[in-house]
Amino acid sequence: MRLNAIWVYLADQPLLWLALTVTLFWLARRLYLAVGGLALCNPVLVSIAAIVGLLLLSGTDYQTYFDGAQFIHFLLGPATVALAVPLVQQLPVLRRSLAPLSLALLVGALTGILSTVALCWLLGVDARTLLALLPRSITTPIAMGVSEQIGASAELTVVFVVITGVLGAAFGVPLLGRLMRKDPVAGGFALGVTSHGIGTARAFEVNAQAGAFAGLGMGLNGALTAILIPLLVWLLGL
Amino acid sequence: MIGAIAALLLMQLAGTLLVQFLRLPLPGPVLGMFLLFALLAWRRQVPEALSRTAQTLLENLSLLFVPAGVGIIAHWHEVAGQAGRIAVVLVLGAAITLAATAWTLHWLLARARTRGLQD
């Protein structure tokens, strides 16, 4: 009875879900480190799954949860702006290999968008889901902005973004095979372009050079795709 | 640190206002990122406090994905019927993008290196 009264009081406070989100993420990250960075134990996936479980068990709706979690969500804006800092720190490298990087970036961004459109059409995935899938290769803050702008569901996009990040981190290095060792610049850049922050974290585990170029690929692809997607949506009349 | 946070928020604000008034096809914070990039490239150095704050924020970037990711709970009914097909799009799309980007850059860099040797 007393316990129930405490729950009823807490469930009304934004603080409960804010505290639980940060704590569960912290625990999920410790778990991830404990299992040696196993991609399937990605802390984002694990904490999302844990919170979804808690919400279902307690019968709490998403709006009530978000009233608390929005304080974390808000930080995505300043974090997007902060991506300019590592980008500017790569300025000398950027200048030196500008032409190859630009061309590879354009190929990566276009392949990402067009392969999604083609596969969705082939498999008959509905248009609303297709729109939410389009920004899946770019870093979450940008992907959410793009998703909202083209009228898709930002929450759905985030789920696709996280899955794409985990896929790239888990299978990227084995898929690239020899190339990753022979040319960490190209391998790292491709990991960043395809699977943004989660891929970049994986590239840093390969070596520092792969990591730096993954960060560069993530930043550049975020910027380019943010421009390309609204343009393509308009051109294709989606 | 407060100065760095003020700088990030002001760039976000400037980006958001410009997007609104110029009707640009970009999220406000993305334009804010471009503005900060241009400013820092022009100054030719990143202030120590800004560098530290940005690093802290980006090191914990993945936490910021969680609240929106939990939103799947409100949208599950939209994807439940086609979850298998969506999984195929996600896996194949990522593999194609990764391979195309890596091999293009590898080929271009190797070509640039050979040309550099010949010159």
Q: Write out pLDDT tens, residues B20-35.
A: 999 876 778 888 988 9
Which residues on B lie below 8 Å from A97 (Cβ)? 109, 112
The answer to whether the CB of A164 falls within 8 A of the CB of A192 is: no
Low-confidence ranges of chain B (pLDDT < 50): none
Instruction: Give the whole-angstrom CA distance, residue A168 versus residue B73.
Output: 24
**Residue A1 pLDDT exceeds 60:** no
A136–B90 C-beta distance less than 8 A: yes
Q: How far is CA A52 from the centre of its chain?
A: 18
Distance from CA of A135 to the nearest CA of B (A): 11
Q: Which residue has the higher pLDDT, A41 or A125?
A: A125
Residues near A152 by Cβ (< 8 Å), separated by ≥ 6? A128, A131, A132, A134
Distance from CA of B58 to the nearest CA of A (A): 6
Cβ-Cβ pairs closer than 8 A, A with B, add up to 299
What are the tokens at A121?
């059409």
B71–A155 C-beta distance less than 8 A: yes
Average pLDDT over chain A, rounded to whole?
Answer: 88
Q: What value of ipTM does the predicted structure carry?
A: 0.85
Query: Which ranges of B44-82 does DSSP label H, i.e. alpha helix?
Result: 48-59, 66-69, 72-79
A100–B109 C-beta distance less than 8 A: yes
Q: Most A CBs within 10 Å: which of B50, B60, B65, B72, as the mutation test of the A interface?
A: B65
Residue B29: per-residue pLDDT:
87
Length of chain B: 119
From B77, B80, B78, B72, select the one nearest A51 (Cα to Cα): B72
Residue A112: per-residue pLDDT:
95
Residue B119: per-residue pLDDT:
55
Tens of pLDDT, residue by residue over B56-71, are: 888 887 788 789 889 8
Distance from CA of B22 to the nearest CA of A (A): 15
Which residues on B lie below 8 Å from A107 (Cβ)? 100-101, 104
pLDDT band at A187 (very low <50, low <70, confident <90, very high): very high
Query: Which ranges of A35-97 does DSSP label H, i.e. alpha helix?
Result: 43-58, 62-73, 76-82, 84-89, 91-96
Tens of pLDDT, residue by residue over A78-110, are: 988 998 888 788 788 778 888 999 999 999 999
Residue B117: per-residue pLDDT:
64
Residue B118: per-residue pLDDT:
60
Range A163-171 average pLDDT: 86
Residue A90: per-residue pLDDT:
75
What are the tokens at B103?
């091999």
From A176, A85, A32, select the one nearest B54 (Cα to Cα): A85
Residue A204: per-residue pLDDT:
78
Residue B35: per-residue pLDDT:
94
B65–A44 C-beta distance less than 8 A: yes
What are the tokens at A27?
């625990």
Rg over CA atoms, chain A = 19
